[in-house]
Amino acid sequence: MIQVLFRCDDFGSGHAANRGILSAVSAGVARNVSVMANGPALQADAKALSEVPNIDLGVHVCLNSEWDDVKWGPVSPPQEVASLVEANGWLTASPNVLHAKGFEIDDIEREVRAQIRKIRELGLTPNYLDEHMGVGWLPGVGDLLARIAEEEGLVYGPKVDWWSGTEAPVGPGPFINVTHPCEDDAELDNWRHEGIPFGQVRRERVADLEYLTNPDRSSELARFGLISATYREIAKV
């Protein structure tokens, strides 16, 4: 059987995301949940997530706040990671903006460790570390995250190929399929920024939930010779 990491991103970013991800992992296909320590809705559903069996939890390193109308700042006091925030205290909108603005690598390390600490303080046990908006490409950040992950006993960056989730994969694997399942809720209409048509995020994320909770999904994966795996299973730890 070929292993596939079905990963649900952005737990904590909103109540619709939390409910959608909890439904997705309960269905059994998705077995990896990436947690945003600075997500405004994390504390509300952390206990429910901690009670889900047979899944891996990830520290979804979040150094950016991409939406126009829904914002978040760092876990650290903003003055302690000043190079990561805008004048209003929110994180910058994207890694590109952060790169153009300039940042202190020590601020990133301080914030990442604060995010790991907060997730653990909420009763969650992370097993892996990954990146919101692929922030690891910034100079020095990928190496920093690898070091932090090793020191914190977290899996980081296994070599896997992307799989769309709809066609038979080509190659020996393992593969990864990253989703953002959300329950259909008007809350999602606030998740927008320039270049994204109104309602697009809502449609896409509800579709992710429908994909992961489809009762025929497990048999379809079996026909492709695929099995859902966790980060620890891929990394053999």
**What's the total number of domains in the chain?**
1
Cross-strand bridge partners of residue 58: 34, 128
The number of CA neighbours under 13 Å toward the Cβ of 161 is 11
What are 111's two structure tokens? Answer: 């914030």
Q: Domain range holding 219?
A: 2-235
In this prediction the pTM is: 0.96
Q: Taking residues 213-229, what's their average pLDDT? A: 94
Q: How far apart are CA 83 and CA 187, in angstroms?
A: 30
Q: 141: domain CATH number? A: 3.20.20.370
Q: What is the pLDDT of residues 53-71, one digit of tens each?
A: 999 999 999 999 999 999 9
Mean pLDDT, rounded, of the chain: 96
Residue type for position 173: G
Q: What is the pLDDT of residues 124-133, one digit of tens each?
A: 999 999 999 9
Q: How far apart are CA 153 and CA 215, in angstroms?
A: 35
Helices (H), the chain: 15-27, 42-50, 95-101, 105-121, 141-152, 200-213, 217-223, 231-235
Q: Is residue 3 over pLDDT 80?
A: yes
Task: Check residue 97 and give its pLDDT.
Answer: 97
The pLDDT confidence band at residue 168, using thresholds 50, 70 and 90, is confident
Per-residue exposure over 67-83, b if at least 16 CB sit within 10 Å of its own CB, e if not: beebebbbbbebeebee
Q: Is residue 198 over pLDDT 90?
A: yes
What are 120's two structure tokens? Answer: 């653990």
Q: Taking residues 76-84, what's their average pLDDT? A: 98
Judged by average pLDDT, the poorest of 72-81, 179-188, 219-228 is 219-228
What are 64's two structure tokens? Answer: 């950016």
